Amino acid sequence: MKKKGGRKIFGFMVKEEKEENWGSVEFQVFSFTNKIRRLASHLELHKKDFSSERGLRRLLGKRQRLLAYLARKIEYVIRN
């Protein structure tokens, strides 16, 4: 991560330091990852909690789709 004039540059994206963009794909992936870690640790203690297991599978699918979208987006920006 490089700093340039009060901004953080991460790859191809420019982001203000003080501004949090909760709707961004990167933040959503980060949020899903935290939820997945929490659910995984919960399921280690409660092995028969099948509704939480289903929720974990749904979150894994959502995160996988978002990561695929992000990869396509990065590839498009790099090409153009």
Pair 27, 20: CB distance under 8 Å: yes
46: amino acid identity, one letter: H
Res. 80 pLDDT band, cuts 50 70 90: confident
27: amino acid identity, one letter: F
Helix, strand, coil % (nearest 5) of the chain? 65, 15, 20
Residues 22-54: tens digit of each pLDDT: 889 999 999 999 999 999 999 999 999 999 999
Q: How far is CA 18 from CA 7, 33, 37, 50, 58, in A?
A: 9, 22, 27, 40, 32
Report pLDDT for 70. Answer: 95
Res. 21 pLDDT band, cuts 50 70 90: confident
Pair 24, 69: CB distance under 8 Å: no
